[in-house]
Structure 1
Amino acid sequence: MTTMTRRTLLKAGIAASIGIPLTAAWGDEVLPAGPITLVVPFAAGGSTDVVSRFIAQKLSERIRHTVVVENTGGGGGAIGATRVARANGNGSTLLMGTVATHAINPLTTKNPPYDPQKDFTPVSLIATVPNVLLVGASVKAQDLQELIALIKAQPGKFNYGSSGVGTPPHLSGELFKSRTGVKMEHIPYKGGGPAMIDLIAGQIPILFDVLSGAASHIRAGSVRALAVTTRERSASFPDVPTMAEAGVADFETYTWNAVFGPAGVPPAVVDMLSLQLQAVVALPEVQAKLIELSATPAGSTAEVLAQLVQSELDKWGPIITSIGGLKRG
């Protein structure tokens, strides 16, 4: 690393620690020329998209580079992730990855189009988010046990939606079926946004969704939340019980949002972006927004994110095997 680059990173670290934005000169010295594309591997309107657009705006303000959000949905996040895995490793293309793109998809695909560790450069964990079981207005059940009884009394009538095959909400649904013995068909969508539209419209009765994407609809009363899928209740919705509290034991699933680059992003670029993303997440308005979206703010080093990916692969492997593997493609 050159003396100039070391000095630049030192300045960036100081800027991040005291909460001031980079000057254009500092950013231009390390970051690639031109705009940075942040690929969201799901359709617009879903939880990952909402978080990504807010983070992109704040990051753009700090580094004084345009950060463009590009939605590339499909394949439970695999299509967008593959696009980034094959992109130029200069840091001009980034991915807002999730547990789906970096653990579940590789574990549920016979021939994965990318390696979640070798083909990406971790940058920073942004936030963690619970999943939630939702029902539409036409479903008469007011709590989880009533829903289970309703499904068992009318086998074949109920189905559930998710943001795509192999996503955390999908696996939440499959785990729910396994733990309760109910029979439901899975209806996959190209993101949480389209799935929520159909839930509200009555096209599907049940939806497993990421809580950050569902929060505004729950507050509006257009859908009902029966349980969150984490071990503890969400601070944003303290009246919504956990699966365990609602009578379904040994149940924990959640998702997260984290920024990755393709393999081979220069360390100076990784350090710069990681520092700035940590600073973005630490901003009071960002903290407030993430909490409003029912996400828990994180902001981490690249090393911490790499450790998370490994731990998620270790965790989800046995769970996926226990419910039949879900191998596809």
Structure 2
Amino acid sequence: MKTANNLIKTGLRCLIAGAALVSASAGAQSNYPNKPVRIIVPFSPGGTADMLGRLVAQKLTESMKQTFVVENRGGAGGVVGSDLVAKAAPDGYTLVVSGVASHAIAPTLSKKMPFDPIRDFTHIALFGGPPSMLAVHPSVPAKDLKSFVALAKSKPGELSYASPGNGTMGHLAAEQFKQLAKIDMTHVPYKGAGPAVADLIAGHVPAASNTLSTMSSHVKAGKARALAVSSKARVEEFPDVPTFAELGYPEMVATIWFSLSGPKGMPQDIVNRLNAEVVKALQAPDVREKLKPEGIETNNMDAKAFTQFVAAELKRWAPVVKASGAQVD
């Protein structure tokens, strides 16, 4: 009897201790964040990833009453900075601006990936991103996408197009379009979006596949002619530029999306709170106004749906990457 009572007392003590630990853990999480949070942008300053990361960091700093610090760690198309976060503690204090380049394209592009884009991350929230735009130099006689396809078919392999580089979304979007339209164009890869656009407007290449945000000012200035964009619907800033989908290419709905992720194993309540705060931030009128010229559509996807989206994008782009023959190793 005495042994039984001792066992009961020991069991009660364990239950009380366990409850205290759970309570302490919940309390710690409910106080999140209680110190500055790092958001790693795995690209150089000045690009879309950097702009979105800083916009969201500012809003999270305001709403969560704690500093969210952006730190640029570029390299290998977003892989270097992302790998740093994949190996960080899953406490919510080290996050990364993830995206299609690092988490959907790079895993197929490289045979030496240091992380698994699904297994090694907690995917939190989708920011969105600009669509791709196919544009030509004003000297090109094709005035629309249909006549451009006809021109390309009349000169197999003679037309060239610029992109920001091998394996970039600009490259892959153009390669997918080539497959769908059954045309042959020569890819001219550049080291970044800026040089690719510079050679387009100088007339050194007849066409370019790049982000709308990079092409925007040049199209408005008449230095380039936009033929189509890869968004679901026409972009408000360019109402006269049709989408690939409405021109008969429904597979060409895509954006160069960016997002917020953390290391695997983050507490779900922290993930849910960050997701809610990011969604709220992206809906803020001043943020939407800043994103409008970029053609970026925001969303209210929860963390679970966003994780499924990343997996679907990984599956979507793998065959396009393989067909393009692009590699980085």
Alpha-carbon shift at residue 75 of structure 1 (Å): 3.3
Contact 1:74 1:190 in 2 (8 A): no
Residues of 2 paired with 1:204 and 1:185: CA distance?
Answer: 10
How far did residue 213 of structure 1 move? Answer: 4.0
2:123 is matched with 122
1:159-198 aligned at under 5 Å gives the runs 159-198=160-199
User: Partners of 1:122 and 1:64 in 2: how far apart?
Assistant: 23
**Corresponding residue of 1:30:** 32
Displacement of 1:88 after TM fit? Answer: 4.2
**Given residue 127 of structure 1, which amino acid in structure 2 is its aligned partner?**
G
Secondary structure at the counterpart of residue 37 of structure 1: strand
Quote the offset at 1:290 in angstroms: 2.5
Structure 2 unaligned regions, length at least 5:
1-20
Identity of aligned residues (%): 39
**1:130-169 mapped onto 2 (5 Å cutoff):** 130-152=131-153, 158-169=159-170
Q: For residues 9 and 85 of structure 1, what CA distance do their matches in structure 2 show?
A: 20
Superposed CA offset, 1:65-113 (max 9, x none): 3333344444333333333323443333322222222222212322322
Structure 1 residues not aligned, in runs of 5+: 11-28
Give the 3 Å change call, closer, same or farther, for CA 320–87 of structure 1 in structure 2: same
Change (3 A) 1:297 1:94: same
Tell me, what secondary structure is at the counterpart of 2:118? coil
Kept in 2, the 8 Å contact 1:32–1:90? The answer is: no
Native 8 Å contact 2:39 2:97 kept in 1 = no
Query: 2:270 aligns to what?
Result: 269
**Cα distance change on mapping 1:153 and 1:166 into 2, 3 Å:** same
Cα drift, residue 191 of structure 1: 4.3
- Relative to structure 1, the CA distance from residue 57 to residue 297 in structure 2 (aligned partners, 3 Å threshold; closer, same or farther) is same
Conservation of the 8 A alpha-carbon contact between 1:84 and 1:95 = yes
Aligned-partner Cα distance in 1 for 2:87–2:198: 32
Distance in structure 2 (CA, Å) of the matches to 1:206 and 1:179: 17
> Equivalent residue of 1:125, what SS?
strand
- Aligned counterpart, 1:282: 283
Residues 270-308 of structure 1, C-alpha deviations (whole Å, 9 max, x = no match):
233222212211212223332332111114322121111
Structure-1 residue corresponding to 2:260: 259
Rounded to whole Å, the distance in 2 between the matches of 1:109 and 1:204 is: 28
Question: Structure 1 residues 217, 262: closer, same or farther in 2, change over 3 A?
Answer: farther
The structure-2 alpha-carbon separation of the partners of 1:249 and 1:259, relative to structure 1 and needing over 3 Å to count, comes to: closer
SS of residue matched to 1:208? strand
Paired residue total? 309
Change (3 A) 1:318 1:32: farther
Local SS of the residue matching 1:254: coil
How far the C-alpha of 1:185 sits from its partner, in A, is 3.3
TM-score (norm 2): 0.78
For the structure 1 residues 306 and 190, does the alpha-carbon distance in structure 2 shift closer, same or farther, using more than 3 Å as the test?
farther
Alpha-carbon offset, residue 134 of structure 1: 1.9
| 2:106 equivalent in structure 1 | 105
CA 1:198 to 1:61, structure 2 compared with 1: closer, same or farther past 3 Å?
Answer: farther
Structure 1 SS opposite 2:131: strand
In the TM superposition, residue 233 of structure 1 has moved relative to its aligned partner by 2.8
Letter in 1 for 2:111: K
Show CA shifts across 1:49-79 (max 9, x none). 3333322222222233333334444433333
Greater Rg, structure 1 or structure 2? 2
On the 8 A contact 1:73/1:191 being kept in 2, the answer is no
Deviation at 1:36, TM superposition (A): 1.8
